[in-house]
Amino acid sequence: MAGFENTTLWQSTLAKQLSDDHREKDRDFLRVSYESFRANAGLLAAEISRDLPDYTVHDLTHLDALWEMASIICGNDYKLTPAEAFVLGGAFLIHDLGMGLAAYPEGLNELKRSVIWEDTVSYLAKRNPESSNESIEKEATGIVLRSLHAKHAEKLALISWGDDKNLYLINDPELREAYGPVIGLIAHSHWWSSDELIKKLPDSLGAFERMPNDWGVDPIKLTCILRVSDAAHIDTRRAPLLLKAFRQPNEYAQQHWLFQQRLYQPRLESERLVYTSKSSFSPDEFNSWWLCFDTLKMIDKELRDVDSILGDSQRPRLKAKGVAAVNNIILLSRLIGTSSWLPVDTKIHVGNVAKLVKNLGGEQLYGKNIMVPLRELIQNSCDAVRARRTLEGEDPSWGRVTVRIGSDKSGTFIEVEDNGVGMSTTVLSGPFLDFGTSFWGTNLMHDEFPGLESKGFSSTGKYGVGFFSTFMWGEKVSVTTRRFEDSRQSTKVLVFQKGLSDRPLLRDALENEYVKDGGTRIRVYFSSSQTYRKIFSENYHDNLRIDQIVEDLCSCLDVSIATEDLNTGESGVVVRANDWKSLEANAFLKRALGNRCFQSLSDDDSCMLTKLSKNIRNIESNGEVVGRGFLSNIGQFDHRRDRAAIKGTVTVGGFRTSSLTNLVGLFVGETVRASRDIGVPLANGKELAGWASEQSSLLIENTDTEKQLECASFVRSLGGNTQGLSICRHKSGIISLIQFEDIVREQLNEIVIVGDSGFHLLEREHGKIVLKDNVFVADPGITGILQTRIEDSWVEWPTNRQSERFDDCTLQGLLVEAFSHVWGVSLNSVIAASDISTDRDKYSYIIGVANGKEIKCDYVDIMRLPSFH
């Protein structure tokens, strides 16, 4: 391999010249200074592998090779001044040094003081809660070094090391002061997008006072050379085979090592870099081949972008303007060989992106629920408010979301506005428009809002698809936003005129469109008046107002929600942050049931619910309220046409989702579906069982014995103690658990349990049955409490069984447990001694008499004491 001193760029700029050189002294000064700079940088570069062992070579051999790559890419006749060569070489030296802790004078402690360290550790701890602090610190070190290395490079030429702080990479103080800042800026720029180069770099710099007047520096030209040279250096020098064996990189890193180890150095042909491989890639190595392909595509794009920048700015263009064969896979496979497989590009392509987004972001994902766009808009606004609340250390009740309805010359609209963090142009034109990509929790979020992750922020939105549901309503949508710390004049407007079929327009806001306090305002115009009307009156004869609709939707949010009807002038706050935890009984009933249900309650049901509302109790988990409500005694099977469905509500992110039979209240839940149409309550285990036990004792006063049976079934399903509630039927009447145990103690060593549904069928056929002394009728099933309202989407809740036995949550199982308890024998021994009916084995028994006739039931459980008792 030729040394960097033999490259054309070095030879034409900093090397000793063969002909008379009247600037030899100045050239020698820069060359000697560079050589000492290189020696110092090489020490730091050698330390990178200690902290990032999985990465390919980043030592001095890589830094020197950039001279060679630059000479190939620039061509033999490209002109640089010696000062430009020194600056470019300095950027070569320091651009990656920040990937090692040695580049930080205070080492890991300096890294730990950064906000991004706190954000990264918080993210990793949330992602892998079982990980040790040591493993999280190790992973965070790699991530943060990688994230900060380019930014840190900007100051590497200026900072010092050593106890006396007198050790620098550039030894000469005047040269360091003159060129250190621009070297750092160019080194930093290799991590920027190509669009940022012209904006952030100075156009040109004059000559250093000790240099000839015509030895100026063009930072834009130099940064273009750096970024393509660094990208293009992917040959075997980056991944020596023996070094790979020593380091043993992880599985993904091995793919990088493999393809780079296989590549020869590139050559320049017809203004294209030509890459070739030493040997072919086998089928087992196809992932590495495709990674090589993707890397070559990236290099090709960098060369094209740089050529555009240089050409458009009237600067000398580089000789290399692309990579050979990247658009012809068959030809590329001849240059970078494959063995026993064909590199057919089977990567998934989407022909009609707009159609896909419209389908998956609308009814295909959410069904025909017309309220989804409103929920998604409010949810996104709430996330933005929570983020600003967290960043600025505001009170938990700070912030507001406003929902407006109105009409103008463009039609009828619904608008949602918040005073949250707002969006920068980068976010608005990036992840906001990237279907399926959420902004929250990403590196971009860490850059835009440093410290947000480490302060404990967690978003409700996870999937990056919610905004696109707005096109279920209409095609015309406007998004007006500004970052909360920016001026009003920085407000931007993104306008969709024809949905997703045309490109949206991004423009500066007019004065009357400014977002006054920071945040975002999204207005959706309805394509159909019928769609708009369905929001207020779907499946109901009476219309609801916008404030009632929003209150029903946002049952227990931690952000205040206001509404404004621009048609009538009515406005007000309908939900205050976390008010569901303290609402008085009647207001809480309305919130839990929803306005439509609450308004349609019969007088009897309303009266009973008012009596029961004194039983409202909280359910807490880890010090947080995760549920509030009471157990209802209004029978779930008592259907009348005038009866409203009395059900409690599960919320996800504060929004109404699933319902709960006979549990009247609000229960915080979670979901695993992107559509968030199913919520599963967080309340579970001991906390839920304790709440249910208390409810059972509270219900007795206002509940007759017949309804107590149904209530007891709910309590049992929730894992609670039925207390004094009736649990089964007996010859003596409807009895409680205590009464059952008293009867068993009367020397009943065998009991027969009949399912209540089978018993009622027998009575319907034969008349009232007088049961035998040892026969008991009980509910054999688990009551269905959580109602998803989605076909084929049954979810088990609660999940509080003590064992795998189904009967752990049934009243029939409670009788068996009590039977074994009374006689002091194990439950398993009773089960082993008994005849229990199944689909395969059915047992019959004469259970009693009806109208003088013995009645046999063909499906019973005959429970006996074990023979050793």
Residue with more model confidence, 501 or 863: 863
| Assigned domain for 834 exists | yes
Tell me the pLDDT tens digit for each residue of 504-544: 999 999 999 999 999 999 999 999 999 999 898 855 556 89
Does the structure show a pLDDT above 90 at 667? Answer: yes
Question: Which of 172, 198, 233 is a domain's end point?
Answer: 233
**pLDDT value at position 443?**
87
Does the structure show a pLDDT above 70 at 806? Answer: no
| Assigned domain for 800 exists | yes
Q: Are 702 and 633 in contact (CB under 8 A)?
A: yes
C-alpha 40/C-alpha 517 separation (Å) is 51
C-alpha 323/C-alpha 542 separation (Å) is 67
639 and 711 belong to one structural domain: no
Residue type at 587 in one-letter notation: A
How many distinct structural domains can be found in the chain?
A: 5
Tell me the pLDDT tens digit for each residue of 104-113: 999 999 999 9
| Assigned domain for 693 exists | no
273 and 316 belong to one structural domain: yes
**pLDDT value at position 346?**
56
Q: Are 856 and 842 in contact (CB under 8 A)?
A: no
399 and 425 belong to one structural domain: yes
Give the strand order in the sheet containing 750-755: 733-736, 726-730, 775-778, 750-755, 860-864, 835-836
C-alpha 860/C-alpha 863 separation (Å) is 10
317 and 367 belong to one structural domain: no
207-211: long-range contacts, CB 8 A cutoff, minimum separation 24: 207/83, 208/83, 208/174, 208/175, 208/178, 208/179, 209/178, 210/26, 210/29, 210/174, 211/26, 211/30, 211/82, 211/83
Residue with more model confidence, 303 or 431: 303
- Give the domain CATH number at 420: 3.30.565.10
Average confidence (pLDDT) over 153-175:
94
Distance of CA 324 to the CA centre of its chain: 39
Give the structural domain span for 553.
354-577
Residue 376 belongs to what H/E stretch? helix 372-391
Average confidence (pLDDT) over 106-134:
93
| Assigned domain for 310 exists | yes
**pLDDT value at position 799?**
78
636 and 736 belong to one structural domain: no
| Assigned domain for 689 exists | no
725 and 814 belong to one structural domain: yes
Question: Three-class SS of residue 744?
Answer: helix
Of all residues in the chain, what percent are helix, strand and coil, respectively (each to 5)?
Answer: 45, 15, 40
384 and 462 belong to one structural domain: yes
620 and 588 belong to one structural domain: yes
Tell me the pLDDT tens digit for each residue of 339-374: 999 887 655 444 454 555 555 544 554 456 788 899
Does the structure show a pLDDT above 60 at 215? Answer: yes
Does the structure show a pLDDT above 50 at 154? Answer: yes
365 and 455 belong to one structural domain: yes
Q: Which of 85, 31, 36, 39 is nearest to 60 (CA)?
A: 39
Tell me the pLDDT tens digit for each residue of 391-446: 999 999 999 999 999 999 999 999 999 999 999 999 998 888 887 778 888 889 99
Average confidence (pLDDT) over 443-465:
86
Residue 411 belongs to what H/E stretch? strand 411-418
| Assigned domain for 694 exists | no
504 and 622 belong to one structural domain: no
Structure tokens at 109: 């402690």
Structure tokens at 120: 């990264």
Question: Which of 233, 255, 271 is a domain's end point?
Answer: 233
Question: Three-class SS of residue 97?
Answer: helix
Question: Three-class SS of residue 470?
Answer: helix
End-to-end CA distance of the chain: 92
Which residues are 789's β-sheet partners?
none
**pLDDT value at position 548?**
95
Question: Which of 577, 596, 622 is a domain's end point?
Answer: 577
| Assigned domain for 708 exists | yes
For 543, which DSSP code? P
**pLDDT value at position 679?**
87
Structure tokens at 704: 């007759």
272 and 143 belong to one structural domain: no
Tell me the pLDDT tens digit for each residue of 830-845: 999 999 999 999 999 9
| Assigned domain for 696 exists | no
What percentage of the chain has pLDDT greater than the value 70? 93
Place of tokens 């920071």: 518
Half-sphere CA count of 72, side-chain side, radius 13 A: 24
Tell me the pLDDT tens digit for each residue of 189-202: 999 988 899 999 99
**pLDDT value at position 1?**
37
**pLDDT value at position 479?**
96
DSSP 35-82: HHHHHHHHHHHTTHHHH-TTS---SHHHHHHHHHHHHHHH-TT----H
For 217, which DSSP code? B
516 and 608 belong to one structural domain: no
